[in-house]
Structure 1
Amino acid sequence: MGVVTKALHVTLRLWQLISSVIVLGILARFLHYVARGGGGRDGRVIYGIIAASISTLFALALLAPFKWAFWAFPMDLILFIMWLIAFSLFATRARNCSAGWFFSYWRPYWSEAWEDSNGDGQQGTSGCGPWRTVLAFSFMAMIAFLASAILGAIVLARRLQKKRREKRG
């Protein structure tokens, strides 16, 4: 296992960690405002928080480039699928910030955030930024877990190939 492989591993794990923490923070803040506004919780947002929480713990646990950290590529593949589902759920729920769901469900969040920022209680369009950020970082986490799964599979295949060659000769 070379220096480049180890550096790529750490870079991917940091990318996973940063992406999942950003999604987790925005969605948790959203749920806080929804609870304060008396709104119900959407299962899609809860799923996103679960995926982000598991990803955060997994990325932290396997951040160091130990040999056994590459054997976790099946879990990377599972987390890739979880992020693919989360991204798809988020993207299909509100294709843009003018969708009915966006203004009805997210109203407690956006109105509270707007009220906190300027005190006049007006509904603003500033909520599009955090929503788009969730979509962007969900996509980045998904790609990072896919790349990590591919890297882990390659490292494991090379290791098995090397053992077979040593066994033969």
Structure 2
Amino acid sequence: MGTGSKIVSVLFRLGELCSAIIVVALLGRSFYLINIANASANGRLVYAEVISALEIIFSVVLIIPAKYSFYAFPIDIIFFICSIVAFALLTDVSTGAGLHSCTSAWYYNYWGFYWGRFWRVPRVTVTATTIGSAGCGTWRAILAFLFIGAMSWMLSGILVSSA
């Protein structure tokens, strides 16, 4: 456990922490909007929120480059797998390859509808184009930071297991 590996380990932990905080904040906003609409949250979103909250806790505990944090590589691998599963669940909502998540039917009927607060507007005036543009950047940011966090957990697990 050299000085270089300790510094890199802290950087990976900071990446994990920042990514998880961003995902929790963005999903928290969506849960707030869903709550205002008196609707129920989708299980995929709840899973991603819970995994990200657990990642915050563990990354804060493991950020100090002590000896115990270098033996925690199974936790790194577990969170890598859980993050990839959350990413896959949120990406695999379209009927196609999942690459156009803002054009999927699930996005129109759920995320875009609640993010754009279209439950307040009569259904006649709401078009698919309007719903498709509501919150698409936020949706993609959640997917991006889930993936970045997963890669940070994976690299941290590789670094720790080889140290």
1:104 matched to 2:109? The reply is: yes
CA drift at 1:39: 2.0
1:131 matched to 2:131? The reply is: no
More helix by share: 1
Matched residues in 2 for 1:150 and 1:82: separation?
A: 16
Query: Size of the alignment, in residue pairs?
Result: 148
Query: Which residue does the alignment assign to 1:33?
Result: 33
Instruction: Give the TM-score, by structure 2 length.
Output: 0.85
Q: For 1:58-110, what per-residue CA distance to the aligned partner results, in whole angstroms no more than 9, with x for missing partners?
A: 00011111111110000111001100100100110143212221121121222
Contact 2:33 2:117 in 1 (8 A): no
Matched residues in 1 for 2:146 and 2:135: separation?
A: 17
Percent of pairs identical after alignment?
31
Query: Which residue does the alignment assign to 1:16?
Result: 16
Query: Which residue does the alignment assign to 2:161?
Result: 153
1:141 matched to 2:146? The reply is: no
- Matched residue of 2:91: which SS? helix
| Runs of 5+ unmatched residues, structure 1 | 116-120, 156-169
Matched residues in 2 for 1:24 and 1:103: separation?
A: 22
- Matched residue of 1:97: which SS? helix
- The higher radius of gyration belongs to 1
| Runs of 5+ unmatched residues, structure 2 | none
Letter in 1 for 2:156: S
Backbone CA RMSD of aligned residues: 1.7
1:45 matched to 2:50? The reply is: no
Q: For 1:102-155, what per-residue CA distance to the aligned partner results, in whole angstroms no more than 9, with x for missing partners?
A: 12112122226xx9xxxxx99451411000000000000110111111111111
Matched residues in 2 for 1:44 and 1:126: separation?
A: 19
Instruction: Give the TM-score, by structure 1 length.
Output: 0.82
Contact 1:10 1:63 in 2 (8 A): yes
